[in-house]
Amino acid sequence: MVRFENVGLRYGQGAEILKDISFSVTKNSFQFLTGPSGAGKTSLLRLLFLSLRPTRGLISLFDQDATRLQPNEVAAIRRRIGIVFQDFRLLDHLTAYENVALPLRVAGRDEASYRGEVVELLGWVGLGERLDALPPILSGGEKQRIAIARALIVRPELLLADEPTGNVDAPLAKRLLRLFVELKNMGTAVVIATHDVALMDQFDAPRLVLNDGRLYYDR
Amino acid sequence: MSIFDAIFAKGSAGRTPILPRETVTGSTLLAVVAIMSFLAALTVGAVRIAQISVNEWRGELANEMTIQVKPAEGHDLDVDVKNILETVQRISGITEARVYTKEESEKLLAPWLGSNLDLGALPVPRLIRLKLGDQAAISALRAVLETIPNAALNDHRAFAARLTAISKTAALAGFLILVLVLLATVLSVSFATRGAVAANRPTVEVLHFIGARNSYIASLFQRHFFRVGFRGALLGGAVAVLLFVIFRFSGRLFGAIAGPGDAAFLLTSFNLDWRGYFEIAAAVLLTALVTALGSRFTVISTLRNID
């Protein structure tokens, strides 16, 4: 599904922040991506959802060379990926319901065909009563849950989450982790970037550890 | 809900637009498009009026001819004129033949030779004005006049050709002005679109990350700008039409009291026909379309840089 071979990344003329990164993500897999702050976790995630292009090496996504994709092919691949941003990236003028439904709306689906799914998912993440709330009046945890619901609503083949439990309490973090595991069991490959050791200890999964721009496996 | 909202509302009423309206539309752009549309409509209407006038003049000229009878040695000019008049009146297809009197000739020459003119002292040619009911009469007329050495037929072809040239020049000038106006519209829209994309950059990035195609994002902006363009173009076009109606009305007023020699008499020809109004409507629609397409291309090229 995803293959990185000797991938390097530098911003402009600066030093390489990711060096010789090689790993693969297979279907139905679950991996944590961890490392100290500034180790390059977010940059690696950005490479994974094609927001950045590597300065060297090969990235293959869904059997396509990521460096040779046309804009429309990039869009098509992104529709197979669900992403949860650390800073949520919600649209403040849309309600919680509309934010979660956005990927389906963009895909051209009729609202009647997805309304039930969106309401159910929002209910599952504990926001069933806040369908019409706008993000500016929601707490950080609530925004995070909306961001997660938005990533999950399309039933992605690959889920990338950047610190998805950073703003929620421990019980909800546990619940969300259970949701991610359930997704993995349904065939979705899950990569969760986190430095929350307690969270990682709750589920036995391979850990990709980034340190000083290099990637190490910790099983 | 306004008529515009009714026209442009999407099927799923009540859904919040993905692009917040206040970050895209602006009264300044509306005013710019309205002015551009007004100029475009004014240009189209003016060209149409020029064409109508030229066609009217040309139509009148096509059915009217003049025989010029020059004084010749050994000939009595009055007798020559009388003979020619009798001859041409016998030609079928000529509905009217009338000799310009000396007084009328004096009036015609007054602008060049002054009003106290004694035509008897000058070898001034005499004119016979003809009206044709059938263009086939021209060849018979030419054949007759070839036998009269001091008579010449003026069919106003040179003047008609000049009118045609004026008409074509007016149309070309109008077309060029229209192109410039549309170009200025595109540039204005392009600046406004860049501003709108910049203001909506976080939204555009989110749309990209959830897999929206550039064409989809462009259509969101395009819809907004088409709405602005349509409103602005309609406003500008309506003002232009109002102006032409006022011209028409005032033309009638002035025409009733003005004579052919007065400048106000010209206003009576400021009548726009239905084709003119249709062309104004087309110019308005074109301005709105140019606004929408200009924004679309700008968004697509800006998105390529963002992604």
Q: Which residues of chain B does A98 touch, with a Cβ-Cβ cutoff of 8 Å?
A: 15-16
pLDDT of A219 reads 65
Per-residue pLDDT tens digits for B159-218: 878 888 888 898 899 999 999 999 998 998 888 888 888 888 889 999 999 999 988 998
Per-residue pLDDT tens digits for B92-130: 888 888 888 877 877 777 777 777 767 667 778 888 888
pLDDT of B90 reads 85
pLDDT of B255 reads 56
ipTM of the complex: 0.89
Size of interface A-B (CB pairs under 8 A): 63
Nearest-Cα residue of chain B relative to residue A100: B210
Q: Residues B266-305, buried b or exposed e (16+ Cβ, 10 A)? A: ebbebbbeeebbebbbebbbbbbebbbbbbbebbbebbee
Q: Where are the alpha helices (DSSP H) in A49-95?
A: 71-78
Q: How confident is the model at residue B65 (pLDDT cuts 50, 70, 90)?
A: confident
pLDDT of B248 reads 80
A34 pairs with which residues across the strands?
A209
pLDDT of A94 reads 95
Q: Which residues of chain B does A77 touch, with a Cβ-Cβ cutoff of 8 Å?
A: 211
Nearest-Cα residue of chain A relative to residue B213: A75
pLDDT of B74 reads 79
Contact between chains at B16 and A93 (C-beta distance less than 8 A): yes
Residue in A76, A89, A154 closest to B206 by CB: A89
pLDDT of A42 reads 87
Q: Which of A10-24, B17-31, B42-56 has the highest mean pLDDT?
A: A10-24
Nearest-Cα residue of chain B relative to residue A106: B212
Q: Residues B94-103, buried b or exposed e (16+ Cβ, 10 A)? A: beebebbeee
Per-residue pLDDT tens digits for B227-251: 888 999 999 999 999 998 888 877 6
Q: Provide the sign of the torsion angle of the four alpha carbons B240, B166, B107, B99, taken in this order.
A: negative
- pLDDT tens-digit profile, chain A (219 residues): 899 999 999 998 889 999 999 999 999 899 999 998 888 888 999 999 898 999 999 999 999 999 888 888 999 999 999 999 988 999 999 999 999 999 999 999 999 999 999 999 999 888 999 999 999 999 988 998 999 999 999 999 999 999 888 878 888 888 888 888 988 998 899 999 998 888 899 889 999 999 988 999 876
Per-residue pLDDT tens digits for A9-38: 999 888 999 999 999 999 989 999 999 888
Q: Position of tokens 């098509």?
A: A76
The Cα A118–Cα A109 span in angstroms is 13
Contact between chains at A98 and B15 (C-beta distance less than 8 A): yes
- B35, pLDDT greater than 90: yes
* Sequence-distant (≥ 6) Cβ neighbours of residue B238 within 8 angstroms: none
| Tokens found for residue B111 | 């602008």
pLDDT of B3 reads 42
Q: How many CB atoms lie within 10 A of CB B90?
A: 10
Mean pLDDT value of segment B4-26: 61
- B260, pLDDT greater than 70: no
pLDDT of A169 reads 83
Q: How confident is the model at residue B256 (pLDDT cuts 50, 70, 90)?
A: low
